Amino acid sequence: MSDTSTAAPETRVFEADVARLLHLMVHAVYSDRDVFLRELIANAADACEKLRYDSIADPALASGETARITIALDPDARRLTIADNGIGMTEADMIEALGTIARSGTRAFMDKLTAAKDGESPQLIGQFGVGFYSAFMVADTVEVTSRRAGTDLAHRWSSDGLGTYSIEAVPLDQAPAQGTRVVLHLKDDATQYTERATVERIVRAQSGHVPVPIALIEKPDADAAELTDGSALWTRAKADITPEEYTDFYRSVAGQWDAPALTLHYRAEGKHEYNVLAFVPETRPFDLFDPDRAGRMKLYVRRVFITDEADVLPRYLRFVRGLVDSADLPLNMSREMIQQSPLLAAINKGVTNRVLSELDKLSQHDADKYAAFWDTFGAVLKEGIYEDYARRETLLGLARFHTTSGGDAWRSLKDYAGAMRENQTAIYYATGTDRERLATSPQIEGFRARGIEVLLLTDAVDSFWAGAGADFDGKPFKSVTQGLADLGQIAPIDGTDAPEPTAPEAESFIAYVKTTLGDAVSDVRASERLTTSAACLVASEHGIDRQLERILAASGQTPRGTRPVLELNPRHDLVTRLAALPDDADLKADGAHLLFDEARIADGELPDDARAFADRLSRILAKALG
Ligand code: ADP
Ligand code: MG
């Protein structure tokens, strides 16, 4: 039986909100109109999934056909058609689905729109998936012809998006045998959507992983060519996926041409269900340290792409690429609502823990590969030590360091703790920009002499976490350039006895230097740190670390202001000989100033008064030359 009683089309008025939304779509000067295709393909795929699901309960609905989406182009007629063999729509379905705002995302969009200032609306379209109505961004007229599975009736919905739509019954031979056909009569400025190359590019980029195969007919009477095969790689069993397939997929999802260094593919079950397919790349993306660079994990809901802007992972894991496909999130939530959803928070927690535990496994099973990972992304992961208090211990465990005893090899804090000297209670570190200079800096001489390993920290982030009161295994981190060195309890390794107490002459010279330098320093004292150099600068015990102060000053956050402590080596020849001079000798005053300037230069700084420095140096040289 077929219904050929084609009554006159019945014209209906859109719900008020739809009319407003359509007005916006019709008049949109919108740079990213391509999203309409994603929306229509997603609807077609949903319809196929619904049919699949419904025919579980009602096998009579199953047609025996495999699900498919066909995109047909007709450049001459300026027409784009998207057809599916899914569940289809009845007349009542059409009135409900294509005449009102049924989806919560669109509702949220409308609320936003009402609150938005003039001129903001185009941006808003990009932030929300606005569904079916987005077709009116590119089409003057849209026709939807559909036959609901299990019925013998077909209807055509059509509208120019200007306030009304009409629905009429159509003969079955004018409708798809099963499912829905959406025909867009494209606007003058949207003819590119009848070009094969354009459509192919958009489909691959936006809908490449839709779970229903997509075919393209590039002109009337041409054969259909398969664009995507409808298999979502991440839903397949791990054992059935080859490394090449993972690499290809990684490249398409990351837009990078290297190979993944680490692949995570698993399904989380229990309270929340989601699939994860994530990769740690082999190489650094160029914008890794761009402050605006956000994470790049894609979020899918039941294989439909939702957004790549949700916080699937914390910022310090922004190098991880891939996707999470949730079974639990509603498909039509706005991105903003997703961002605030407790489900996303649960996913974030689960995936973060998993990435960190996989990295930990890698570090235990393949030290070389882990070292390569650390070379590439360690500086980013370390941001987490500062930002993610709850996982600080884990992240410190994953961290690797260059140290005074490790040479070019990476050392873990476990390695460090195992090599601590008797009576050593802290983990010592030096911060700076240049590893070579740190390794030879005067401040660590005394540590070297005692065989105490010092972490050489050269990433900007190090100054932040190391100074933030972190500890590892109960051992605090302590800067070698801050406070007293406290080395008296630890014996030198070359067998020499602990240094003798400072001689009285040296004590009075220290007092003399302090008076001479005045406000330039906060204190002058005898050093435990120095063995071969005459002088060095350190920060006071409760002051801000000197490297951190430099970083903050360079970024304009604080002026350089705190005065350093000058430490002198009371056993150094230069110090003892200057100490022996009478206090009114010019040479003694010049010597005091030059010791200070020398210490600044060793820290990579400039003397405060370059002219005075040059004059003193010249005077002394002239004297030495006779
Ligand atoms: P959403 O897909 O989020 O529900 P849309 O605006 O994209 O919102 O679509 C609105 C509704 O129109 C869908 O929920 C569905 O009921 C119906 N619909 C749209 N396209 C199709 C289609 N190809 N087949 C069946 N129903 C469709
Ligand atoms: Mg939709």
Averages of pLDDT over runs of 10 residues in the chain (626 residues) are: 61 86 71 82 87 80 89 98 97 91 62 64 54 90 97 96 94 95 96 96 79 94 93 88 87 76 94 95 78 77 78 94 89 76 95 98 96 96 95 97 93 96 94 91 92 95 87 93 82 71 86 94 92 92 80 74 89 93 92 95 89 94 89
**Who surrounds ion ligand 2 at CB < 5 A?**
42-43, 131
- C-alpha 127 – ligand 2 centre gap (Å): 15
- Centre of ligand 2 to C-alpha 206, Å, is 14
Q: Do 185 and 54 share a structural domain?
A: yes
Q: Is residue 328 part of a domain?
A: yes
CATH number of the domain within which 160 lies: 3.30.565.10
**Quick one: 356 and 390 in the same domain?**
no
Q: What is the pLDDT of residue 395?
A: 97
The encoded tokens of residue 63 equal: 């047609």
CB neighbour class for 254 (10 Å; exposed up to 12, middle 13-18, buried from 19): middle
Spacing, Cα 58 to ligand 2 middle (Å) = 24
Give the rounded distance of the alpha carbon of 394 from its chain centre.
19
Atom 15, ligand 1: residue with shortest CA distance: 97
The Cα–Cα gap between 350 and 224 comes to: 42
Name the domain boundary from 342, 368, 394. Answer: 368
Q: What distance in angstroms lies between residue 27's CA and the mean position of ligand 1's atoms? A: 22
238 and 287 part of one domain: yes
Q: Among all ligands shown, which has an atom nearest to the Cα of 106?
A: 1
Among protein residues, the one with the nearest Cα to ligand 1's atom 2 is 43
388 contacts: CB under 8 Å, gap ≥ 6: 314, 316, 395
- Hey, what are 354's tokens? 């998993």
What does pTM read for this prediction? 0.68
- The answer to whether the CB of 18 falls within 8 A of the CB of 157 is no
4 found inside a domain: no
460 is a domain residue: yes
Residue of the nearest CA to atom 13 in ligand 1?
97
Is residue 459 located within the same domain as residue 421?
Answer: yes
Predicted confidence at residue 31, as pLDDT, reads: 59
CA of 306 to the centre of ligand 2 (A): 11
The closest residue, in CA terms, to atom 4 on ligand 1 is 103
Q: Which CATH number is 336's domain given? A: 3.30.230.80
Is 2 a member of any domain? no
174 and 67 together in one domain: yes
Last residue of a domain, one of 368, 403, 436: 368
Asked, for residue 496, whether it belongs to a domain, the answer is no
**Same domain, residue pair 296 and 444:** no
Please tell me the predicted confidence (pLDDT) of residue 270: 86
User: What sign does the CA torsion over 62, 63, 68, 74 have?
Assistant: negative
Cα 331 to averaged position of ligand 2 atoms, centre (Å): 8
Please check whether residues 167 and 248 belong to one and the same domain.
no
488 lies in a domain? no
Distance 106 CA to ligand 2 centre (A): 10
Q: What's the pLDDT at 1?
A: 41
Pocket test for ligand 1, best of 128, 132, 165, 307 (most atoms within 8 A of CB): 132
Domain termination site, one of 228, 249, 266: 228
Minimum CA distance residue for ligand 1 atom 21: 43
Q: Which ligand is nearest to the CA of 81?
A: 1
pLDDT of residue 266: 97
Centre of ligand 1 from the C-alpha of residue 43, in Å: 5
C-alpha 411 – ligand 1 centre gap (Å)? 56
| Number of structural domains found in the chain | 4
Question: Would 298 be classed as within a structural domain?
Answer: yes
Would you say 252 and 236 are in contact if contact means Cβ atoms under 8 Å apart? no
Give the CATH number for residue 606.
1.20.120.790
Measured in Å, residue 41 CA sits from the centre of ligand 2 at 8
Do strands 10-13 and 565-568 pair parallel, antiparallel, or not at all (unpaired)?
A: unpaired
For residue 111, give every residue at least 6 positions away whose Cβ sits within 8 Å of its Cβ, in sequence order, or none.
none
CATH of the domain at 430: 3.40.50.11260
Q: Are residues 249 and 353 in the same domain?
A: yes
Which of 39, 46, 81 gets mutated to test ligand 1 (max ligand atoms within 8 A of its CB)? 46
What pLDDT was estimated at residue 166? Answer: 96
User: What is the predicted pLDDT for the residue at 21?
Assistant: 81
Residue with the nearest Cα to atom 8 of ligand 1? 131
Nearest atom within ligand 1 for CA of residue 182: 23
Strands 523-526 and 565-568: parallel
* Residue 413 shares a structural domain with residue 281: no
Q: Which ligand is nearest to the CA of 135?
A: 1
Nearest CA to ligand 1 atom 9: 132
Residue 615: left (phi > 0), alpha (psi -120 to 50), or beta?
alpha
Q: Whose CA is nearest to atom 18 of ligand 1?
A: 43
**Together in a domain, 439 and 547:** no
- Residues 126 and 101 reside in one and the same domain: yes
Annotate 488-498 with b (16+ C-beta within 10 A) or e (fewer).
eebbbeeeeee
Atom in ligand 1 nearest the alpha carbon of residue 130: 6
Pick the closest to residue 451 from 414, 500, 493, 411 (CA basis).
493
Ligand 1 atom 23: residue of nearest CA: 44
CA 397, 399, 405: angle at the middle one, nearest 5?
Answer: 105
Nearest CA to ligand 1 atom 12: 97
Domain residue limits at 34: 10-228
Query: Ligand 2 centroid vs 131 CA: distance in angstroms?
Result: 4
**Is residue 223 located within the same domain as residue 237?**
no
- Ligand 1 neighbours, Cβ below 6 Å, are 39, 43-44, 46-47, 84, 86-87, 89, 97-98, 103, 131-132, 180, 332
Paired residues of 159 in beta bridges: 142, 165
CA 129 – ligand 2 centroid, Å:
8
* Alpha carbon of 42 to ligand 2 centroid (Å): 6
Integer Cα distance of 417 and 424 in angstroms:
10
Pocket test for ligand 1, best of 25, 39, 41, 43 (most atoms within 8 A of CB): 43
Nearest CA to ligand 1 atom 17: 97
pLDDT score, position 578:
94
Residue 499 lies in a domain: no
Q: Which helix (H) or strand (E) holds 608?
A: none
Q: Considering every ligand atom, which ligand is closest to the CA of 178?
A: 1
Nearest ligand to the C-alpha atom of residue 142: 1
In 3-state terms, what secondary structure has residue 438? helix
Residue nearest to atom 20 of ligand 1 (CA): 43
Ligand nearest to the CA of 94: 1
